[in-house]
């Protein structure tokens, strides 16, 4: 679910926050790297 929501957030105006994005590393280990490669900015914030 988080992968789909992150893709959807690319079309949103302004900043989007998605909690729990670190779970994407289980099903798609290169997710953050690949999104950076297409120009997306993902900032992981600790709790």
**């957030």: which residue's tokens?**
9
Confirm whether 24 is domain-assigned.
yes
Count of domains forming the chain: 1
Query: Are the C-beta atoms of 15 and 25 separated by less than 8 Å?
Result: no
Compute CA 36 distance to the chain's CA centroid, rounded to the nearest angstrom: 9
Confirm whether 30 is domain-assigned.
yes
Confirm whether 15 is domain-assigned.
no
pLDDT at position 26 is: 87
Residue partners of 42: CB distance under 8 A and separation at least 6: 6, 21, 32, 35, 36
pLDDT tens, residue by residue, 1-47: 888 888 888 888 988 888 877 788 889 998 888 988 988 887 777 65
Domain that holds residue 41: 1-10+20-47
pTM of the predicted model as reported, rounded to 2 decimal places:
0.62
Structure tokens at 24: 């994407």
């Amino acid at each position: 679910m988080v992968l789909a929501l992150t893709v959807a957030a690319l079309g949103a105006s302004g900043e989007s926050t998605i909690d729990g994005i670190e779970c994407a590393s289980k099903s798609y280990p290169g997710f953050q790297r690949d999104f950076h490669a297409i120009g997306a900015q993902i900032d992981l914030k600790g709790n």
